[in-house]
A and B are shown apart, each in its own frame.
Chain A
């Protein structure tokens, strides 16, 4: 059997469309790779039949002379935060173990409509809360990357850790992610792949298990900027079932891709030069500037003065929303019910939620409950919302002098699983560069920039104006062309799984 797992989404779609190979061959190839990669623990459940059925449909469509969809014949991984009809959907939590929705999320349905198929449901941090994929009830996800000279399992980042690991390990050509405060960009950076968080409202949240509603956004994770552009185009679109959905046409990002940045000004925010940022990260940032300059852009210094308040504000707003969003997991209607003999309603709530939620989820529910409590609300929640407004205003002001912003995605490269498990604050700092764009609802992506001296991938982050995914993708393409980075051999990860 030929191996198609080195192909990305565009190559598969175009190859199927032109008849170079069949979608079924591709799906079989990836199904086999998924089955052989159990050690990564990237999937919670696999759905080889779903992938094959979609592949057969694509092949049939081609045989019938029909045009294939934007993702025609591409098997993908689906983060297990998206409700999938008839397929267990858990948010990586015990409290939803065995829950099988009778509905399909808008984003996943859009992808199926575009011709994609599903390899399986991808592991993640429980309820998307985490930056290392260590909070899943279904076990840690390992990155395919290892630090040079060691064989310790490394974190793929989180919360979209399963998505990142699967794409980087080439057991899925592309995967969905969700990003609340960096959950697409940080794992993409950790695993040497591309990941896009679009403008808030681009992708419907309907059918996506909610973490923090005002921040949650779905987006693509894939090998290349082109693949991300294609997949985002398939995922996005107005949805009347989501009141925060953007009522705007989806541009043809793929068609308008161009790495010529002439006339574009790239802002370099001085506040992102933080203590504790790796030298290698700073070096790659410098490199990134040079690449964008080489692509025709002008580099300008900018200031985003409230950057340092963004992370604390995020860790008030996101848990506050989560504490309320997760109240529905109460053992009454679906999911886990822990009802000891003779117990009443309150006991059932307490037992169910104690047994069903993991420690990090409980921590955030407690934080969120606290900051919304009478007497604390103004000091925490109201104040954090003011900070959020100031962070947004920082960006608004910056746009008077630049068209997009270049920054590191993360302050460090990946770390060994378990090394930060007892240090939630350091863990939270992973998202320090990602969170401001989330608070402002802006489109942002992480593009691989190269490897650090330990042989671990580093990412560069591009942040654009609201609705201007195109400029973000174009700059990403410019970096991609110059970085020459590929997670494929010879500089890709050694297969150890």
Chain B
């Protein structure tokens, strides 16, 4: 249970949160027309006759949009409705050419599902929690009004008009800004794993309507407000924080909460009324008579399921239980598609470079990927700017470094030096190690010679060591390494010293 509470003058208040996330489906063309969906095109350059609602134009469902929504539903382990239907949501606005949005009210494509948010003490989530998802339905996006193009008129850009969205509606299961933030991050990760949405919140590919209410602990649900179109995880959390406190203030000063739609003001971090319940539209939903019910065949559903990749929870379990990584490393590595993709490529390359199983090299690879490599990249960027190019850091080159280190040919600090040179030059690590003298000496003869000299020059300490002063072993190691300018393989040095000192 979340212990997030608002401390009011009359006691503690609990916050109840539900999210409706709109996620743009990643397809080349729109939900009901062949027009392109590329972001950032010239206004009204991606508008078909259907999108502009010319007389007599008809919608035809884009099968790929349906497929992606079904795969998303499967990824949250939801019921997939083999029979669903599109409805019209009727209202007038200049960015809505048809005068209605084609959506799904009565029979959504995807029914009940759920998603797991993981315990994270640092963020205030004490334990794992399942968040219910009520439904996912598919609908059209609207166009965009531009108010800054003319002194007295507004312009309309219909590029977005008709773009496919999934509306993912959660149950009111979240009790803190942290839980809501974790939910959005997890949902985003799943969408990106599945490939159904690029999750790009800055470009509006993903945005949330945030429903917030407050109540005294254990009491009935309070009246909720809905804050529209919030487009970052941080803002979602800010909205909840602000709304919850505002509602407590209103209630404690004897007021009541209106069920209303609100807008978030990024500049001030506050919300304000957009329209009250009295102004709410009567959307006159009814089944779209231009479209037949959507009936999904078993073969189609089987293909959707078969095409699902390994999902975040399963991957995380495999990383801990199968690869033996720490829970922290597993979570970090599975959070983003790019991260695990890079890691898995590196892991595979490292295993084959070293000639061991992935499980055997997973921990050293994870440490490299999560702490060593990012540290080197960061400092190289600071010191050398654009000369340091992370594109040079291919999985094969990094694997070569890890393999050299594994074999004792190079030390940890040499590995970092070599990696920095890889970043700056794009040269091959083994070649760098050879030509730059960045190799450990494992040649027993050379090391033995040095050790012999050190022991001869320090026979007093040898006596003391033999007399039981074990700590002096470190002294002999240090002297040997120093004499070899740090290039001796520590394991070989240790072994030889043990042999000599008996």
Chain A contacts for B291, CB-based, 8 A: 243-244
Which residues of A66-102 are within 8 A (CB) of B?
Answer: 82-83, 89, 91, 96, 99, 101-102
Tell me if B290 and A243 are in contact (CB < 8 A). Answer: yes
Minimum distance in angstroms from A341 CB to a CB of chain B: 10
Question: Does A377 have its Cβ within 8 Å of any Cβ on chain B?
Answer: yes
Chain A contacts for B56, CB-based, 8 A: 82-83, 101, 105, 205-210
Tell me if B100 and A101 are in contact (CB < 8 A). Answer: no
| A324 with B88, Cβ < 8 A, contacts A83-B55, A213-B289 known | yes
Chain A contacts for B154, CB-based, 8 A: 345
Question: Does B471 have its Cβ within 8 Å of any Cβ on chain A?
Answer: no
In the complex, what distance in Å separates the CA atom of A116 from the CA atom of B397?
70
Question: Does A495 have its Cβ within 8 Å of any Cβ on chain B?
Answer: no
Question: Does B242 have its Cβ within 8 Å of any Cβ on chain A?
Answer: no
Which residues of A81-136 are within 8 A (CB) of B?
Answer: 82-83, 89, 91, 96, 99, 101-103, 105
Question: Does A214 have its Cβ within 8 Å of any Cβ on chain B?
Answer: yes
Which residues of A38-92 are within 8 A (CB) of B?
Answer: 82-83, 89, 91
Tell me if B52 and A372 are in contact (CB < 8 A). Answer: no
From A213, A320, A330, A381, name the one whose CB has the most chain B CB atoms within 10 angstroms: A330
Secondary structure of the B contact surface, majority rule: loop
B55: which of A243, A321, A328 is its contact (CB, 8 Å)?
A328
Chain B contacts for A323, CB-based, 8 A: 90, 284
User: Interface size class for chain B?
Assistant: 20 to 34
Minimum distance in angstroms from A211 CB to a CB of chain B: 11
In the complex, what distance in Å separates the CA atom of A105 from the CA atom of B54?
12
Question: Does B46 have its Cβ within 8 Å of any Cβ on chain A?
Answer: no
Minimum distance in angstroms from A452 CB to a CB of chain B: 37
B61: which of A96, A243, A328, A345 is its contact (CB, 8 Å)?
A243
A interface footprint on B280-321 (CB within 8 Å = 1, 0 otherwise): 001011100111100000000000000000000000000000
Chain B contacts for A327, CB-based, 8 A: 90, 92, 98-100
Tell me if B286 and A243 are in contact (CB < 8 A). Answer: no
Which residues of A358-406 are within 8 A (CB) of B?
Answer: 369, 372-374, 377, 381
B interface footprint on A8-37 (CB within 8 Å = 1, 0 otherwise): 000000000000000000000000000000
In the complex, what distance in Å separates the CA atom of A95 from the CA atom of B153?
22
Minimum distance in angstroms from A177 CB to a CB of chain B: 16
Tell me if A240 and B100 are in contact (CB < 8 A). Answer: no
Which residues of A202-231 are within 8 A (CB) of B?
Answer: 205-210, 212-214
Question: Does A333 have its Cβ within 8 Å of any Cβ on chain B?
Answer: yes
Minimum distance in angstroms from B345 CB to a CB of chain A: 41
Question: Does A467 have its Cβ within 8 Å of any Cβ on chain B?
Answer: no
Chain A contacts for B58, CB-based, 8 A: 205-206, 241-243
In the complex, what distance in Å separates the CA atom of A334 from the CA atom of B282?
26
Question: Does B372 have its Cβ within 8 Å of any Cβ on chain A?
Answer: no
Chain A contacts for B98, CB-based, 8 A: 327-328
B interface footprint on A182-211 (CB within 8 Å = 1, 0 otherwise): 000000000000000000000001111110
Nearest residue, chain B, Cβ from A90:
B55
B286: which of A103, A242, A326, A372 is its contact (CB, 8 Å)?
A372
Question: Does B59 have its Cβ within 8 Å of any Cβ on chain A?
Answer: yes
Minimum distance in angstroms from A170 CB to a CB of chain B: 29
Nearest residue, chain B, Cβ from A89:
B55
Tell me if A206 and B99 are in contact (CB < 8 A). Answer: no
Chain A contacts for B88, CB-based, 8 A: 324
Nearest residue, chain A, Cβ from B56:
A207
Tell me if B286 and A213 are in contact (CB < 8 A). Answer: no
Nearest residue, chain B, Cβ from A201:
B292
In the complex, what distance in Å separates the CA atom of A6 from the CA atom of B252?
87
Chain A contacts for B99, CB-based, 8 A: 324, 326-328, 330
| A99 with B55, Cβ < 8 A, contacts A328-B98, A374-B282 known | yes
In the complex, what distance in Å separates the CA atom of A334 from the CA atom of B92?
16
Question: Does A349 have its Cβ within 8 Å of any Cβ on chain B?
Answer: yes
Question: Does A488 have its Cβ within 8 Å of any Cβ on chain B?
Answer: no
In the complex, what distance in Å separates the CA atom of A320 from the CA atom of B285?
10
Chain B contacts for A205, CB-based, 8 A: 56, 58, 290
Question: Does B496 have its Cβ within 8 Å of any Cβ on chain A?
Answer: no
Tell me if A324 and B97 are in contact (CB < 8 A). Answer: no
Minimum distance in angstroms from B168 CB to a CB of chain A: 25
Chain A contacts for B456, CB-based, 8 A: none
Chain B contacts for A345, CB-based, 8 A: 93-94, 154
| A330 with B92, Cβ < 8 A, contacts A103-B54, A205-B56 known | yes
Minimum distance in angstroms from A390 CB to a CB of chain B: 18
In the complex, what distance in Å separates the CA atom of A205 from the CA atom of B99?
19
Tell me if B289 and A321 are in contact (CB < 8 A). Answer: yes
Question: Does A256 have its Cβ within 8 Å of any Cβ on chain B?
Answer: no
Which residues of B76-106 are within 8 A (CB) of A?
Answer: 88, 90, 92-94, 97-100
Question: Does B49 have its Cβ within 8 Å of any Cβ on chain A?
Answer: yes
The 7 closest A-B pairs by CB, nearest first: A327-B99, A372-B284, A214-B289, A213-B289, A328-B53, A207-B56, A209-B55
Apart from A89-B55, A323-B284, A332-B94: 9 A-B pairs, beta carbons within 8 A: A99-B55, A101-B55, A205-B56, A206-B56, A210-B56, A243-B292, A327-B99, A333-B53, A374-B282
Q: List, sorted by A's number, 21 A–B pairs whose CB atoms are closer than 8 Å.
A: A103-B49, A206-B56, A206-B58, A207-B57, A209-B56, A214-B289, A240-B60, A243-B291, A244-B291, A321-B289, A323-B90, A323-B284, A328-B53, A328-B98, A328-B99, A330-B99, A333-B52, A334-B55, A372-B90, A374-B284, A377-B285
